[in-house]
Amino acid sequence: MNSAWDKIRFIAQWVSAPLRTGAITPSSRALAHAMVDNIPEGQGPIIELGPGTGVMTQVMIDRGIAPERIYCIEYSEEFAKKLTNQFPKVNIINGDAYNLENLLGEQLSQTPAIATMCSLPLFTQSLEQRQKLFNQSQKLSVEGSPFILFSYAHKSPIPCPLGYKLIKSPWVRKNIPPARSWTYTALENQ
């Protein structure tokens, strides 16, 4: 659960790097549930991009996902330290998610991820960078694994690639600002 101190840290991160942080407050548990509910059953790893203060991470653990299965990529050194203390069994990596293959390629080479959760401010990056991130996550995952993100916009930040379908949630109004989740899954898995 996010404390008042977490919210203050988050706002401070946003003030210092608004394009990297992307939001003025942490995601709500309601938004986290809208995303986590799209993770398939299974025992493989889960990639979390931009965990921030750990709301999504906590909801995954509350759902029964073993912390050891979660691989978080956090750019902010301060948030990465906080997450390491808060979730000692979760794999916390302080690094740039847009370098995903180099950060996780070796660790996920034997057991690919079953899903990717993305809380990055994707619209701050070029379309080419967003598509590259999606492609990297798919290379590290079981074929057709869902790529789940959220956005405050009316359209998804990544156009739906050929061979995939895109499912959007209703607006999650219990989030500041309201947001929705977008889930990409391969057509052959449906």
What is the structure's pLDDT at 26? 82
Q: CATH number for the domain including 127? A: 3.40.50.150
Q: What is the pLDDT of residues 149-172, one digit of tens each?
A: 999 999 999 999 999 999 999 999
DSSP structure class, residue 113: B
Mean pLDDT, residues 106-115 taken together: 96
Percent of the chain with pLDDT over 90: 82
Q: How far apart are CA 11 and CA 91, in angstroms?
A: 25
The total of structural domains in the chain comes to 1
Percent of the chain with pLDDT over 70: 86
Q: What is the mean pLDDT of the chain?
A: 89
Q: 3-class DSSP state for residue 167? A: strand
What is the structure's pLDDT at 188? 72
Cβ-based burial of 118 (10 A; exposed 0-12, middle 13-18, buried ≥19): buried
87 is in which domain, residue-wise? 4-189
- Examine the pLDDT at 175 and tell me if it is beyond 70: yes
Q: What is the pTM of this model?
A: 0.87
More confident residue, 26 or 109: 109
Q: How far apart are CA 56 and CA 170, in angstroms?
A: 18
Q: What is the pLDDT of residues 47-77, one digit of tens each?
A: 999 999 999 999 999 999 999 999 999 999 9
Mean pLDDT, residues 30-34 taken together: 96
In which band, very low, low, confident or very high, does the pLDDT at 144 lie, cut at 50, 70 and 90?
confident
